[in-house]
Structure 1
Amino acid sequence: MSVYEGGKEDGWTEYLMYGEQPQLLAQDGDDKKTDFLHRLYRTVYLRDIYERNNIELKPEFEELSKTLASSVEAPVNASNIANTFKSVSKVQDIADKTVSAYLRYMQDAFLIEKAERYDIKGRKYIGSPYKCYYQDIDLRNAILSFRQNEPTHLMENVIYNEIRGRGWPIDVGNIHHCVHNAEGQQQRVTLEVDFVCNKGSERIYIQSAWRMPDGEKMEQAKRSLRLVGDSFRKLLVVGEHTKSWNDESGIQTMSIYDFLLDMASTERL
C-alpha cells in the first residue's frame, strides 16, 4: 500500500490477482502485468526446474502444476494428485513416485511450500494428505492463466504467506469431534484449523473466512477454534471490514486489512 495509488479495497483486489512482485510497478495495465507474470513463470521458474532436474516430460510437468494450482486449500497427496491428473489431463499418465519428485522440485524452486497436518488433541503429525501453498500467489494465478480466482482459497494462501514471512512455522490443524447424526447415532468427524503457528513457546491458531453474512456462518467458522481447548491465542481473519473484537471464548476476530497492514497483528496478545 505504500506504493499503491488507491484505497485498501482496490489494493487488496489487485494483490489477490497480481501479488507483490516489485517489477509489476513498471507494468502499466492488466495486459502487461499478466504478460510479465507469464514470462516470469516460464523463463525463470520452469527453466530452472527443467534444467536443474533434467525433466523430459515437460508437458506432463506443466499439467501437473496446473492441477496443483487448482487445489489450493484442499488436502492433497501424490496419489490423489496423480488420479486427478489422469482424469483431466490429455497427456501421458505419471506415477505417484514421479508426482512426489515433481512436488519436491517445485519446493526446491521456492514455487510452493508444503504444510503438514497436525492432530491438535493427539499432539502428533498425521502425514498424508497435506496442503500446498504457493509462495507467490501471482505465479499460481499465472499458471492458471488468471482463470480460477476463488477469493476464499486465495485469501487462505495469502494469510499463509504472511504468517510465514513473519517467521512462524505453520501446520494445518485437525481436531476429531463426536456428534450425533440424524439417526441419533454418535459419529466421529474431523474439523480443521487452517493454521497452527508455533514460534518457540508461542502458539497462535488462525482461521480464514472470506465472508461472515450471519451469526450461523460466524459460529461455523469458530467451531474448530472453540474445540481446541487450550489457552493459546485464537484468531479468526475475515475478508471484510470489521472492528477487531474478542468474544466470550477469547476468540479474536480481525479484518484481513488489519491483519496484513499491521505487522504486530500476529504478536498482539
Structure 2
Amino acid sequence: MEVKRDYYLQRLIDCQWDGQVKVITGIRRCGKSFLLRTLFKKYLLEHGVRKEQIITLELDLVRHIRYRNPLELARYVREQVEGKAEKFYLFIDEIQMSEPVKNPYLPGGKKITFYDVLNDFREMKNLDVYVTGSNSKMLSSDIMTEFRGRSDEIRVHPLTFSEFYSAVGNDKLQAFDQYAFYGGMPLVLSKPDDAAKMEYLKSLFSEVYIKDIKERKKIEYADELGQVLDLLCSSVGSMTNPSKISATIRSRKNVSISDNTLKSYIAHLEDAFLFTASKRYDVKGKSYFDFPMKYYCADVGLRNARIGFRQMEMTHIMENIVFNELLARGFSVDIGVVYAREKNRSGNSVNVAKEIDFVATKGSRKFYIQSAYAMPSEEKNVNELKPLSLTGDSFPKIVVRKDISKAWYDDNGILNVGLIEFLLDKSILN
C-alpha cells in the first residue's frame, strides 16, 4: 500500500537546486526514506531525470558502511560527479550514522565530520544534496551553525489522520478508532491483522529506538531508560517535571534515578524524536515557565504499544493526536496559562491559573485551542471555555470536540469543531 505524503513531496520539489542541503529529519520508521527514495525518486524519473543521475547511499546498511567515514563518502561522490556536465541528485540515508575521523593532514586538529563534507558538496554546481537523519541534536540543533544558514530542514512526522484516512478510506469514525489505537507509523498499514500490528509497534522500541539510544549514548542501564519511557508514555497530556518522574519511579520500582540522569534520558528520547516537550506560556506576561511541562509521544500507536495497550484514556490520546497534528502543520505549540480572579476558601480574592491546552503559533498567526473529548455538562463547558475568554487578545479560539460532527460558533466567537473535521480540513487553521 503506497501512502501519499504530498505535503512533504511538494517541499522537496520546491527545494530542488536551491543551493541548500536538504535535511529530512524525523523519528526512525516514520517514512523519511520512502519519501526520498521512492516518492521523490519516482517524481524525478517521471520528469526526465535518468536513474544514473541519482546517487543513493544508505549508511544503515553494511554494504555502505565504509561511507560512514566522511573522507570515504567525499571520495566516492566526487568520483561519480566531478568533471561531468550532467546534473546529479545525491540521497544519503541515516546521515547520523556517519562518524567523525581524524584529519590526516592535521593530526592534532579538529576531526572531519559529515558537516564538512556536505558543505563541500554544496559548492559542486552539478550536485543537489538530500540527507535523512533520525537524531535531532545532531541534526536540527546544529543545522544553522554547521551549514552556515545554507540548509533546508524538512521535518517528517508519522502519518497524520488525513494521510492515514487517504490510505484506508471507508467509514471515518472507524478509521479514527484504528488510528487512535495503532497510530500512524506507515508500515502498520501493511500488517495483516491486529496481532501483527501490535507486535510490530512493540518491536520498534526494543529493536530500533532503545537499541539506537543505548548504542549511541553509551547507556549502561537500559532498564532505567525503559522505566522513564514507560512513565512518559503513561502520562502524556499530564503536567510533570524530572523530580516528579524520579519520585514516581522510586515509589513504583524502588529504583533511584538522579535528576541529572533523568534529564539526560529524557533528552535522549527527545533527540530520537520520540517525545516533544510543550512548555507552559504566560499568555499575558509573554514569558515561559521552566517547569512543569507536558510531554507528547510522536505517535499514539507507539505510546499505546509501549504500555501494553492499557491506559487507553481517550481524553489524553485525543490531546496527543491534536498536538501532533499541529506540529505536522508547522506550528510551534505551547501550553497557555491565563489567570482568573476567584474567591478562595477564606473568601479572599486571589489569582487562579487556568490552562489553555494549546497555543499554536506560526509566524504572525496564533490560535488558542482546547481539546475536549466531550462537554456533557455546564461545568465542563465553563472549564473549557473560560480560559479562552481570559487571553486579552483577539486571536482565534477553537474547541476541538469528539462529541460533535458539525462546526459552529458560539456567542463569544469561539469555534466548536468536531475532531474528525479538524483533522481532515486544514483550512480551519488558515
Q: Give the alignment's TM-score, normalised by structure 1.
A: 0.95
Partner residue of 1:201 out of 347, 360, 364? 364
Q: Distance in 2 between matches of 1:123 and 1:166?
A: 23
Return the letter of the residue paired with 1:238: R
The reply on whether 1:87 has 2:87 as its aligned counterpart is no
Name the residue aligned to 2:194.
Answer: 30
Query: Which structure has the larger Rg over C-alpha atoms?
Result: 2
Helix, strand or coil: the match of 1:242? coil
Structure 2: unaligned runs, 5 residues or longer: 1-164
Q: 1:105 aligns with which of 268, 286, 289?
A: 268
> Residues 49-108 of structure 1, C-alpha deviation per residue, up to 9 Å, x if partnerless?
111101111111111111111111111111111111111114x31101111000000000
Give yes or no for the alignment of 1:133 onto 2:296. Answer: yes
Q: For residues 228-247 of structure 1, what are the structure 2 equivalents within 5 Å?
A: 228-247=391-410
Aligned mates of 1:174, 1:245 — CA distance in 2? 25
Among 276, 283, 294, which residue is 1:120 paired with? 283
2:167 is the alignment partner of 1:3: yes
CA displacement at 1:181 relative to structure 2: 3.1
Q: Is the 8 Å Cα contact of residues 241 and 257 (structure 1) preserved in structure 2?
A: no
Residue aligning to 2:259: 96
- What is the CA-CA distance between 1:182 and the residue it aligns to? 4.6
Q: Deviations over 1:131-162 (max 9, x none)?
A: 11111111111110111110000100000000
Unaligned runs of 5+ in 1: none
- Distance, in Å, in 2 between the alignment partners of 1:208 and 1:186 is 29
**Structure 1 equivalent of residue 382 of structure 2:** 219
Structure 2 letter corresponding to 1:178: R
**1:57 and 1:66 mapped to 2: Cα distance?**
15
Within the candidate set 227, 237, 253, 1:73 is matched to 237
Identity of aligned residues (%): 38
Whole-Å Cα distance in 1 between the matches of residues 306 and 189 of structure 2?
Answer: 21
Structure 2 partner of 1:257: 420
Amino acid at match of 2:297: Y
2:205 equivalent in structure 1:
41
2:329 to 166, 170, 176: 166
Aligned residues: 266
Query: C-alpha distance in 2, partners of 1:77/1:187?
Result: 25
For normalisation by structure 2, the TM-score amounts to 0.60
Which residue of the partner structure matches residue 19 of structure 1?
A: 183
Measured on the aligned residues, the alpha-carbon RMSD in Å equals 1.3
> Is the 2:339–2:390 Cα contact (8 Å) retained in structure 1?
no
Q: CA deviation at 1:187?
A: 2.8
